[in-house]
Amino acid sequence: MTIEDKVKQVFAEEEGREKNPNFQNLRDFYQAMKKAGLVVRQEYTLPPVDTIGRSFHQSSEVANKEEERK
């Protein structure tokens, strides 16, 4: 599937969504809540978990220290 086909598919899905009464009701509800000030972006105080970079960084530090010893 080409990028052009994917874009056409997304546009077709959006047009279908606009005609769906459930989607319209949900969108209207969301807009009303936003207008009332009840929609707030959630802020997280915890840093994101680094599962790849930290281990790579630590292993590269160990490798660098071993090379310095030689």
Q: Where are the domains of the chain?
A: 1-40
d(CA 34, CA 64): 53
Spatial contact of 30 and 39, defined as CB atoms under 8 Å apart: yes
User: What average pLDDT does the segment 5-22 reach?
Assistant: 82
Q: 3-class SS at 2?
A: coil
pLDDT exceeding 70 applies to what percent of the chain? 69
Give 21's pLDDT tier (boundaries 50, 70, 90). confident
64's tokens? 């660098």
Residue with structure tokens 């090379």? Answer: 67
Task: Report pLDDT for 56.
Answer: 64
> Read out DSSP for 30-63?
HHHHHHTT--------SPPP-SSHHHHHHHHHHH
